[in-house]
A and B are shown apart, each in its own frame.
Chain A
């Protein structure tokens, strides 16, 4: 008896025993699950196989970034869905970032009224489920915008209707290469110029308006090239033909609703993150910067923002991830993203729940894990060195 009680009283050996017990139960649990799956699959006459990925999908997808028709395989349908997820996440992230940063700054402004408006925007938006946002925007586009024939026209080039938005499509002609070339030259020039100015400032203390010079070079150099080469870009303006518009770029109601909803919803969270990040900077930092005579813009750019960035970026990234995961709700309004194609129609047609859901989950999981690994690396890089 004393032998066992000695083992149990020794911390090291007790830890090992506990872990062995946990492992044993884990193994038992997993084998129990596997046995159940086997028994259930045998009863239903099913098996696990990924061959279905290569048979024709047989369904249409109304929006695709790569060529797709219903004779293509389930695998290709899944890739089309994945790209659609990426597309809506991309637009949503841009909208959310711009709106969120603006709102976060307005929330901190000295203007009482503007700050209150931003506050109530944030409260109203983030306290309503994202699915509701999506359905609401979809409903507004489908039910309150007019039929294409009576579409709301913005300057006769962009049209808003209940079949989606129609935007002019830029068509490039020969000579566009010159514009691209000048753009690249402008970028290279501004990088070199910024480096030169930095060195000059370090040596002499003289400051140049680097930002404005670079911004105007990047804007005007391609513009000059554009006029020299005889304006090689024309716009294909959407035109009403019969019941619908032809030409131009088409943004489907689903994509538009999803972009608005995800962008507007996530913007509320981003606004709070930006605000908290700026408030997290010690008041003394601002006061010290002001007392050595820095201009307000310099106080912000050189003192507050570099420190706030460290606080803001990790939660900002997790909001981007949330936005991407939330885009899976697209299935509620029929936007064909990854969950709606591979995890929706392909699942129903082939009856392979296990395989399709496994693929869908693994894709989302690998995206999240790789981004959080990136964030851990960033965190350890910018971490304040403490004791």
Chain B
């Protein structure tokens, strides 16, 4: 063994101590760094084992995917009886929309992504042309879904249901409530006493009462406030209520954003001689909206989830379809399967929305990298 000598400054780095690198090191640092930590890990592993074991068994291994009734399911195996879903999957997606016309919903749904793409992803190629399509899309979707023009069969509102209804209510509510929310937020910050008071009253009222009472108003009382003989669809009334409700929450989120803008920004804008609308358009809103993106998306997710409440006033959203299926004696008692299926749908769409908000937040985050 010859001992090597190094010049000062040329000594090679020692390898890291064993137990701090590699898989073993990671496990030791993250799972077994102390006694209490090890205990927590063991408890978690046991919990996970039972959970995963139970879930896989019940969901997949012992589950029945097609049968004529609950009793037939139970004869085959004792896990989940997914037949209640598979036998009615059309209803869960389209409600009672006529089967021959369902392609119209499919096309509307698929083109929705094309229409939203330029709004959601600013870097998309050919954005300008796609934006024209986005502008045109609401009319396109309305004609295609409702029918009555261009030889398309007219479809009654009352046939709408399932996930399609959820998406219609959610998207309409979201699209309409953002502009109203911005206006309310500006109104609340306004110098004009009358405008400010009105905005505050509206916002506080909407935020103070449960949504379900507003839906009751929409379903049973709204007609009293309109000229005698007016009667418009319950769907539109519900969308109006959703819009008002979530606009009030969005207004509060945006107000937080407006208040977070440093005072110097306004002073600079005043110094440049901008008037109120220029200041709002070029200084206040771009910064306020950027700050409030997470809050706005959270409100949208809330609105989207709240569309399930329409089941209480008798619309057939996925929960309504599910309850109708459960009321059938063949499928009586399969509530867990039905509701978990609907829950999965909501989880996927809401989780996607919250991921998008995270992505956008990172993208727009210009000050600290």
Which chain B residues in 308-323 approach chain A with CB under 8 Å? Answer: 308-309, 311-312, 319, 323
A114 and B43 alpha carbons, distance in the complex (Å): 9
13 inter-chain pairs at a CB distance below 8 angstroms, sorted by A residue, are A37-B225, A110-B30, A127-B347, A127-B351, A132-B339, A135-B319, A135-B339, A136-B340, A138-B335, A139-B336, A328-B213, A369-B204, A369-B208
Q: How many whole Å from B341's CB to the nearest CB in chain A? A: 10
Q: Which residues of A contact B312 (CB under 8 A)?
A: 329, 331-332
Q: How many whole Å from A9's CB to the nearest CB in chain B? A: 12
Q: Which residues of A contact B124 (CB under 8 A)?
A: none
Q: How many whole Å from A59's CB to the nearest CB in chain B? A: 18
A26 and B44 alpha carbons, distance in the complex (Å): 60
In the complex, are the beta carbons of A41 and B224 less than 8 A apart?
Answer: yes
Q: Which 10 A-B pairs have the closest CB atoms?
A: A139-B335, A127-B350, A112-B30, A368-B208, A129-B305, A365-B208, A328-B210, A325-B210, A19-B194, A136-B339
A131 at the interface (CB under 8 A from B): yes
In the complex, are the beta carbons of B225 and A131 less than 8 A apart?
Answer: no
Give the contact stretch, choosing among B33-41, B95-103, B142-150, B280-288.
Answer: B33-41
Which chain A residues in 1-46 approach chain B with CB under 8 Å? Answer: 15, 18-19, 22-23, 26, 33, 36-37, 39-41, 43
Scoring A15, A113, A354 by chain B CB atoms within 10 A of each residue's CB, the highest score goes to A113
B136 at the interface (CB under 8 A from A): no
Which chain B residues in 28-79 approach chain A with CB under 8 Å? Answer: 30-31, 33, 37, 40-41, 43-45, 47-48
Q: How many whole Å from B109's CB to the nearest CB in chain A? A: 20
Among A114, A136, A369, point to the contact of B44 (Cβ < 8 A): A114
Among A113, A127, A138, A339, point to the contact of B45 (Cβ < 8 A): A113
Q: How many whole Å from B44's CB to the nearest CB in chain A? A: 5
Q: A131: nearest residue on chain B (CB-CB)?
A: B308
In the complex, are the beta carbons of A144 and B223 less than 8 A apart?
Answer: no
In the complex, are the beta carbons of A132 and B209 less than 8 A apart?
Answer: no
In the complex, are the beta carbons of B335 and A40 less than 8 A apart?
Answer: no
Given A111-B30, A136-B339, does the pair A36, B226 have CB atoms closer than 8 Å? yes
B120 at the interface (CB under 8 A from A): no
In the complex, are the beta carbons of B192 and A19 less than 8 A apart?
Answer: yes
A326 at the interface (CB under 8 A from B): yes
Which chain B residues in 335-351 approach chain A with CB under 8 Å? Answer: 335-336, 338-340, 342-343, 346-347, 350-351
B138 at the interface (CB under 8 A from A): no
Given A22-B194, A131-B311, does the pair A39, B227 have CB atoms closer than 8 Å? yes
Which chain B residues in 155-203 approach chain A with CB under 8 Å? Answer: 191-195, 198
Q: How many whole Å from A119's CB to the nearest CB in chain B? A: 12
In the complex, are the beta carbons of B193 and A19 less than 8 A apart?
Answer: yes
A357 at the interface (CB under 8 A from B): yes
B86 at the interface (CB under 8 A from A): no
Which chain B residues in 294-318 approach chain A with CB under 8 Å? Answer: 301, 305-306, 308-309, 311-312
In the complex, are the beta carbons of A111 and B44 less than 8 A apart?
Answer: yes
Q: Which residues of A contact B37 (CB under 8 A)?
A: 109-111
Instruction: Tell me the dominant secondary structure on chain A's binding face.
Output: helix
B228 at the interface (CB under 8 A from A): yes
Q: Beta-carbon contacts of A274-293 to B below 8 Å, as 1s and 0s?
A: 00000000000000000000
Which chain A residues in 131-179 approach chain B with CB under 8 Å? Answer: 131-132, 135-136, 138-140, 142-144
Given A131-B311, A343-B216, A364-B213, does the pair A22, B347 have CB atoms closer than 8 Å? no
In the complex, are the beta carbons of A19 and B335 less than 8 A apart?
Answer: no
Q: How many whole Å from B303's CB to the nearest CB in chain A? A: 11
Q: Which residues of B contact A37 (CB under 8 A)?
A: 224-225
Q: Which residues of B contact A361 (CB under 8 A)?
A: 209, 213
A78 and B175 alpha carbons, distance in the complex (Å): 38
Given A15-B191, A364-B210, does the pair A132, B336 have CB atoms closer than 8 Å? no
In the complex, are the beta carbons of B309 and A365 less than 8 A apart?
Answer: no
Number of A-B contacts (CB under 8 A): 157
A130 at the interface (CB under 8 A from B): yes
Given A36-B225, A131-B308, does the pair A365, B47 have CB atoms closer than 8 Å? no
Among B213, B220, B336, B347, point to the contact of A136 (Cβ < 8 A): B336
In the complex, are the beta carbons of A329 and B30 less than 8 A apart?
Answer: no
A196 at the interface (CB under 8 A from B): no
Q: How many whole Å from A42's CB to the nearest CB in chain B? A: 9
Q: How many whole Å from B222's CB to the nearest CB in chain A? A: 10
Among A39, A138, A329, point to the contact of B309 (Cβ < 8 A): A329
In the complex, are the beta carbons of B308 and A36 less than 8 A apart?
Answer: no
Q: Which residues of A contact B194 (CB under 8 A)?
A: 19, 22-23, 26
A331 and B211 alpha carbons, distance in the complex (Å): 13
B117 at the interface (CB under 8 A from A): no
Known: A127-B305, A357-B217. 18 other contacts (CB 8 A): A26-B194, A39-B228, A109-B40, A111-B31, A111-B41, A113-B41, A114-B41, A114-B43, A127-B347, A128-B305, A128-B343, A132-B346, A142-B335, A328-B213, A331-B312, A332-B312, A369-B204, A372-B204
In the complex, are the beta carbons of B205 and A112 less than 8 A apart?
Answer: no
A130 and B305 alpha carbons, distance in the complex (Å): 8
Q: Which residues of A contact B216 (CB under 8 A)?
A: 343, 353, 357
A111 and B319 alpha carbons, distance in the complex (Å): 38
In the complex, are the beta carbons of A143 and B335 less than 8 A apart?
Answer: yes
Q: A44: nearest residue on chain B (CB-CB)?
A: B224
